[in-house]
Amino acid sequence: MSKKTVRDVEVAGKRVLVRVDFNVPLAEDGGIEDDTRIRAALPTLRYLLDKGASLVIMSHLGRPKGQVVDKLRLDRVAKRLGELLGRPVRKLDQVVGPEVEEACSALRPGEVVLLENLRFHPGETANDPEFASALARLGDLYVNDAFGAAHRAHASVVGVAERLPAVAGLLMEKELQALGGLVQDPARPFVAVLGGSKISDKLKVLARMRELVDFLVLGGGMCFTIMKWKGMEIGDSICEDDFLDQVGGLMQGGASGGADILLPVDLVVADGFRPDADSRVVDAADIPPGWMGLDIGPKTCDLYASRIAGAATIFWNGPMGVFEWDRFQEGTRKVAEAIASSGAVTVAGGGDTIAAIRKFGLEDRFTHISTGGGASMEFLEGKVLPGVEVLQDK
């Protein structure tokens, strides 16, 4: 990797300002529903503490839009982080200001504080220079371990890094190496499995992937816009009519080269969008009027599994259907299990994808599961991530 990491700098005795991504899903009972993102940052935090640093940790949670929202305070995050680190984590009630500066200045090696939710301050998303300077005064060194926020030119991501020596954390390094391997001489055959409901979210990465991979395997609601462009009847299935022309350009542009595109050959359709709807399996060309596709069918599962089995590299983003409902989860489950069993280098990303992997108990059978949905998509599209570009080069 071309960027410096925590291994390339001296941290003993320094206050290290660490940007993490603790934007975790919260449970209705006031707890944390999934602490994966907290656990993902532990190697970096433990490395810095073991080397004699003190830590000022900062993160956002949710979208408070520059306002204080009590349910988005980071108290429960601090409690869970302390449990995982096995040491106290003092949570501050402000993001910046004299009291925060005093608390951070008093830190001794091995001590940890967590700032309040960054997005309570309007200067965060605006990359306000004064706010960035106030944050930078809290530390001697900046470490970005929040790959999930690396595509945002925010104060804690870019502004602070312009004011302090700035390096990557171990999670950031791992993400860049895993995703970089997909675009820099991946082992072949390279198969990309893309799903999800909206093709508008995937058009750019579809175009890029068509250049990079050998086979594009498509599922989810996004398929129906392609199917409609092809002149197929899609019943009441989800469709983004405003993007039909762009879909046509993508499909026609790949006619002379690029990856082969696999679409479903059969589907599980339902007479309404509800978990208890009547359902049946039909050929992809035979969706009845008034019915909608909610999952790929068994023939498609077998077709996709056979293509996946022959891959040497696999990237997966997006479920094959409404996997949250058990009656429409089989396509996503079978594709997930095929990827996990493939023996290929396997990289997965995106919130729904991670949720599916966790639902089917496959977390330990993927080479890498990216913590950054939007950031991973923009990286694979070929975009420069501002939070990475600003870090020091080796």
Task: Name the E strands within the chain.
Answer: 15-19, 54-58, 90-91, 112-114, 141-144, 166-168, 190-194, 215-218, 260-262, 266-270, 279-283, 292-296, 313-317, 345-348, 368-369
Counting other chains too, the contacts that 272-277 makes at CB distance below 8 Å and 24 or more residues apart are: 275/325, 275/326, 275/327, 275/328, 276/327
The dihedral formed by the CA atoms of 248, 250, 252 and 254, expressed in degrees to the nearest 10:
-160
How far is it, in rounded angstroms, from Cα 380 to Cα 73?
Answer: 33
pLDDT at 254: 55
Give, in degrees to the nearest 5, the angle at Cα 393 between 388 and 394. Answer: 130
pLDDT at position 257: 61
Residue-level pLDDT at 255? 52
Q: Is 37 a catalytic residue?
A: yes
Catalytic residue among 62, 181, 351, 365: 351
pLDDT at 26: 87
Please report where in the chains the tokens 């396509």 appear, as a residue. Answer: 331
Active-site hit among 76, 79, 198, 204: 198
**Cα(88)–Cα(316) distance, integer angstroms:** 38
Query: Can 195 be counted among the known catalytic residues?
Result: no
From the list 180, 254, 258, 374, the catalytic residue is 374
374 is catalytic: yes
Q: Measured between alpha carbons, how far is 314 from 346 in angstroms, rounded to an integer?
A: 5
Tokens of 235: 């019943």
Within 13 Å of residue 205, how many CA atoms lie on the same side as its CB? 29
pLDDT score of 82: 97
d(CA 90, CA 74): 11
Span 303-319, pLDDT tens digits: 999 999 999 999 999 99
Q: pLDDT (tens digit, 9 = 90+) per residue, 381-391?
A: 888 999 999 99
86 a catalytic residue: no
CA distance 281 to 330: 12
User: Phi-psi region for residue 361, left (φ > 0), alpha (ψ -120 to 50) or beta?
Assistant: left
Tokens for 329? Answer: 């989860």
Instruction: Identify the pLDDT of residue 34.
Output: 85
- In the chain the domains, ranked by start, together with CATH numbers, are 6-171 (3.40.50.1260), 178-380 (3.40.50.1260)
Beta strands of 34-116 (E only): which ranges? 54-58, 90-91, 112-114
Q: What tokens were used for 258?
A: 């690029």
Q: Which of 37, 91, 174, 202 is an active site residue?
A: 37
Q: What is the pLDDT of residue 1?
A: 72
Task: Tell me if 185 sits within 8 A of 160, measured CB to CB.
Answer: no
Instruction: Give pLDDT, residue 256.
Output: 53
* Side chain identity at residue 341, one-letter code: S
d(CA 330, CA 30): 32
Query: What is the C-alpha to C-alpha distance for residues 349 and 373, in angstroms, rounded to an integer?
Result: 6
Render each residue's pLDDT in the chain as its tens digit; 394 residues: 789 999 999 999 999 999 999 999 888 877 898 898 999 999 999 999 999 999 999 999 999 999 999 999 999 999 999 999 999 999 999 999 999 999 999 999 999 999 999 999 999 999 999 999 999 999 999 999 999 999 999 999 999 999 999 999 999 999 999 999 999 989 999 999 999 999 998 898 898 888 899 999 999 999 999 999 999 999 999 999 999 999 988 888 655 567 889 999 999 999 999 999 999 999 999 999 999 999 999 999 999 999 999 999 999 999 999 999 999 999 999 999 999 999 999 999 887 899 999 999 999 999 999 988 788 888 988 889 999 999 999 9
